[in-house]
């Protein structure tokens, strides 16, 4: 059955033409909110979006049945208007593993090889010998062994690191993970890890997951790398821990407040590296994102079950 599909994404022209040709029976329009014909909103069956949709637009799409998003984490898209209606929400979970893993490894090597200090010494024109650390043999703790966590674990193990990880279900431990446990395993992971990488879903169950007791378990020489769990640690607590040197420092790419406001103390802490939410960005965006969208569009048109359907109550 033909469907009306709104592409609320900046899809390149060639990809748009190919998509319209492949799904010729569908009415596929690409535009932003300001360009959208208000008369067509009520006729829309499905939306492919990069950013969350305001509730007032959702409410005007009275025929909306399906919402597909470019990100793996979808909690931010689950507004009251979306949750209150029988709209199927699907995400792009599973396509960002490589970029998150590479960013985490880049952070680990940057810290181990003392590159931030080297950059600061260069800025001061100061010739200062530093002692780099070998990553081989050190312990990596991954909080959240999902797609990205699994990819990171595989690469880290290949480099000779000892890998510990947590996930909701600890059965079927992969061979590239040395120790795997449920969330109750977190204290042991924090006590033993030289690098703790947070790769958590941004869902209500992970809010303030790591508190003062957990942060104080970390080695004084350890580093925290937070790539996805923006609300996993309360910001004022994190600032305090970093100021008081409970652990050595942090690389932060996920925040409760995004963009991070200028008044945040995190910007100026000497043992913190702030990055602007870039760990999950890929230079191969559309080749990664489009196949799953097209497969779900095919299923949507055919009335078949969709892939990566989100439980709107759990947020994943």
Taking only the tens place, the pLDDT of each residue in 151-176 is 999 999 999 999 999 999 999 999 99
Of the candidates 286, 164, 300, the residue with the CA atom closest to the CA atom of residue 219 = 164
Whether 1 has a pLDDT exceeding 90, the answer reads: no
Chain center to CA of 189: 21
Q: Which CATH superfamily is domain 97-274 in?
A: NAD(P)-binding Rossmann-like Domain (3.40.50.720)
Question: Each residue of 270-313: pLDDT tens digit?
Answer: 999 999 999 999 989 999 999 999 999 999 999 999 999 999 98
Whether 203 has a pLDDT exceeding 80, the answer reads: yes
pLDDT of residue 316: 83
pLDDT of residue 2: 87
Domain regions of the chain by residue span: 4-94+283-302, 97-274
Q: Give 3-state DSSP helix, strand, coil % of the chain, rounded to 5.
A: 35, 15, 50
pLDDT of residue 180: 98
Six-digit token string for 38: 């208000």
Fold match between domain 4-94+283-302 and domain 97-274: yes
Of the chain, the percentage scoring pLDDT greater than 90 comes to 91
Chain mean pLDDT for the chain:
96
Whether 234 has a pLDDT exceeding 80, the answer reads: yes
Whether 192 has a pLDDT exceeding 90, the answer reads: yes
- DSSP-assigned beta bridge partners for residue 273: 251
CATH architecture, domain 4-94+283-302: 3-Layer(aba) Sandwich (3.40)
Distance CA 170, CA 33 (A): 43
pLDDT of residue 73: 84
Of the candidates 160, 111, 116, the residue with the CA atom closest to the CA atom of residue 138 = 160
Least confident of 33-42, 199-208, 269-278: 199-208
pLDDT of residue 287: 94
- DSSP-assigned beta bridge partners for residue 150: none
pLDDT of residue 204: 84
């Amino acid at each position: 059955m033909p469907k009306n599909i709104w592409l609320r994404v900046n899809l390149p022209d060639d990809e748009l033409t190919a998509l319209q040709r492949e799904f010729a029976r569908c009415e596929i329009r690409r535009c932003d909110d300001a360009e959208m014909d208000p008369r067509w909103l009520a006729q829309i069956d499905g939306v492919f979006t990069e950013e969350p949709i305001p509730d007032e637009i959702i409410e005007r799409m009275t025929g909306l049945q399906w919402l597909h998003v470019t990100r793996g984490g979808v909690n931010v898209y689950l507004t009251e208007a979306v949750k209150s209606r029988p709209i199927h929400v699907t995400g792009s979970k599973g396509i960002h593993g490589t970029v998150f893993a590479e960013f985490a490894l880049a952070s680990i090597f940057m810290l181990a090889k003392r590159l931030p200090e080297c950059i600061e010494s260069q800025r001061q024109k100061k010739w200062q010998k530093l002692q780099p650390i070998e990553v081989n043999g050190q312990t990596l703790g991954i909080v959240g062994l999902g797609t990205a966590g699994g990819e990171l674990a595989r690469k880290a193990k290949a480099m000779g690191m000892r890998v510990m990880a947590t996930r909701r279900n600890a059965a079927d431990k992969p061979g590239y993970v040395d120790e795997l446990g449920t969330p109750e395993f977190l204290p042991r992971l924090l006590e033993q890890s030289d690098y703790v990488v947070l790769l958590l879903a941004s869902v209500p169950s992970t809010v303030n997951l790591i508190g003062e007791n957990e942060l104080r378990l970390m080695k004084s020489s350890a580093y925290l790398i937070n790539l996805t769990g923006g609300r996993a640690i309360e910001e004022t607590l994190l600032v305090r821990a970093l100021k008081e040197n409970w652990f050595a420092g942090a690389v932060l790419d996920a925040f409760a407040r995004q963009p991070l406001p200028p008044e945040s103390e995190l910007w100026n802490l000497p043992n913190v590296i702030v990055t602007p939410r870039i760990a999950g960005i890929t230079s191969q965006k559309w080749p990664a994102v489009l196949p799953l969208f097209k497969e779900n569009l095919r299923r949507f048109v055919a009335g078949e079950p969709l892939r990566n359907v989100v439980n709107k109550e759990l947020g994943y």
